Amino acid sequence: MADTYDLIVLGSGPGGYVAAIRASQLGLKTAIVEREKLGGICLNWGCIPTKALLRTSEIYHYLTHASAYGLKAEKTGFDLAAIVERSRKVAGQLNAGVKGLMKKNKVTVVEGDGVLAGKSRLVVTKDGTKTELSAKHIIVATGARARDLPFAKADGERIWTYRHAMVPKEMPTKLLVVGSGAIGVEFASFYSDMGAEVTIVEMLPRILPVEDEEVSAFMHKALAKQGMTIHVGAGVEKLEASKAGVKAAIKGADGNVTTSEYSHAIVAIGIAPNSEQIGLEALGVKTDRGHILVDGYARTNVEGIYAIGDVTGPPWLAHKASHEGVVCVEAIAGKKPHPFETWNIPGCTYCHPQVASVGLTEAAAKEAGHEVKVGKFPFIGNGKAIALGEAEGFIKTVFDEATGELLGAHMVGAEVTELIQGYAVARQLETTEAELMHTVFPHPTLSEMMHESVLDAYGRALHY
């Protein structure tokens, strides 16, 4: 006989485990199925351990630039094994935290590979033993995995995915990063700060292509100033690994192909949804290029089957998955949540300097038919930024000229990943420029630049 639940969640990433917790809070008997570690890619191999690595490189950057703060730091160095160990310990601590949350919320954890065996049935296999589970509602939260170059599979030795790049056996001396999205730029930033010679190759005309064009241009200059070589409108035609390193043939924007050698290469060209071999096809669940199609309540075209997170498509962000999970479960429980939408999801890139954004870029706002007012304020005009020695960057706001609606906000600079939520809250509350102008921001803080950017959009900036 199958173990019976109200809800089964397949996958325990930030979408899956949050959905399970919310389901338990609403009185649903819940099981969660995981083949690896609780917390999924984000907690174990993504968001969290990469931030631990980036914190290390940030501190190392300050050590090597101590004289800028009137300090002396001599004979600086690092222990790569200890850096990796710290990152893994951080991930381990949070993995244990998720285990505790499952126990606290009385969520049954089932280890193994789960496959849909019917509209209300899931078979879990571990070490050859099969366990059958049944539930009226099943949420697929299986996430996604790194894409390989079709002509050069990652080997973990010379050609890496993000997982290999988080547990390096040796520090690259000359690193090629293929792709300049958030993952590529974050690893480029980490390894550059740790002393590697870094080259970025981006197929599109600019790095961080989903960001506002001014942010992309600023970051291109900033990373180049740090010593990185950046090729945009370019592609890797060939990548050959040997025991000694990697040989890459790079086709530039001018059409010419040059060959260069590197110690290692990181492939960060996007992700592929984990939607194969989990029983979707037999049930007739609709997908688009592997991504499961869902409505605003995470419902698929098959009754009782839902999907959330990276397996459903962009934006591929942990906080998007968590919110989807909550909306999905509340709808299942008979609540009346607002249907999930992607219009107000902040994005963050933890490079140096940081990048954060929410809403429409200036170009996207214009393409959508808005007449816009745009404000910008530079870090160099902020007292706290200067005192921190972090005067690089700017904050940009985009408003609808007719209504004063905050259409988007875009930031580059120190701690902007912490600041962006202020604008996300403002957009959620449908705040206009008037409320933002009349809000009192504390001094001295970086957040004052948010105020000044709004003021600048209306010709009223005070400090620049």
Q: Which residues are catalytic?
A: 443
Peptide bond into 378 cis (omega under 30): no
C-alpha distances out from residue 104 to 97, 139, 260, 298, 309, Å: 10, 21, 54, 26, 24
Distances (CA, A) of 394 to 54, 93, 348, 427: 21, 35, 15, 20
What distance separates the 2 farthest-apart alpha carbons in the chain?
71
Burial class (CB in 10 A: 0-12, 13-18, 19+), 366: middle
CB crowding 69-94: b at 16 or more within 10 Å, else e: eeeeeeeeeeeeeebbebbbebbeeb
Are residues 144 and 311 in contact, defined by beta-carbon separation less than 8 angstroms? yes
- Sheet with 394-400: list strands edge to edge: 347-349, 354-359, 406-413, 394-400, 372-378
d(CA 251, CA 260): 11
Alpha helices in 74-175 (DSSP H): 80-104, 162-166
224-231 long-range Cβ contacts below 8 angstroms, 24+ apart = 226/192, 226/352, 227/192, 227/197, 227/198, 228/188, 228/192, 228/198, 228/199, 228/200, 229/198, 229/199, 229/200, 230/180, 230/199, 230/200, 230/202, 231/199, 231/200, 231/201, 231/202
Q: What are phi and psi of 123, to 5 degrees?
A: -110, 125
Residue 7: its H or E element: strand 3-10
Question: What letter would DSSP give residue 210?
Answer: T
Structure tokens at 430: 């449908």
SS3 assignment, position 167: coil
